[in-house]
Amino acid sequence: MVGTWKLVSGKLTYKDTASSYGDTGESMKIITPTHFAVMSKDADGTLGHVSGGRVKMDATHYTETLDYSSSKDMLNQSAAFTYTVEGDKCHIKGGTKDYTFDEVWQRVQ
């Protein structure tokens, strides 16, 4: 899971409303053994969401705690995920009480 990843596809569910993302613009995630940063840009290159903070992970579980975020309502929240890595792809699923994410990321070489 440690490395640099580019978003392939994502689905966000907020309460009962689902939406897909990742087909326009670009999102990158950098994960170290202790921290992460994620940033996205729109198709026109405009900076979108940016966040970062601490991570905890084991062989199948991954938790992000947001210490920095362009969305104030996300600050200091934790999101818990299960994950699998197969080859150069990582699939994560989970989130917070209100937000559920189902994402596929590809390792950047």
The predicted-structure confidence for 68-100, as pLDDT tens digits, reads as follows 999 888 899 999 999 999 999 999 999 998 889
Residue 9 pLDDT > 90: yes
Confidence class for position 63, pLDDT limits 50, 70, 90: very high
The whole-angstrom distance between residue 86's C-alpha and the CA centroid of its chain comes to 17
Share of the chain above pLDDT 90, in %: 76
The model's pTM is 0.89
pLDDT in the model for residue 78? 95
Residue 22 pLDDT > 80: no
Beta strands in 1-109 (DSSP E): 3-14, 17-21, 26-31, 35-41, 47-57, 61-69, 78-86, 89-95, 99-107
45 sits in the region (left: phi over 0; alpha: psi -120 to 50; else beta) called: left
Q: What is the largest CA-CA distance in the chain?
A: 37
> Going from the N-terminus, what domains does the chain have, and what CATH number goes with each?
3-107 (2.40.128.20)
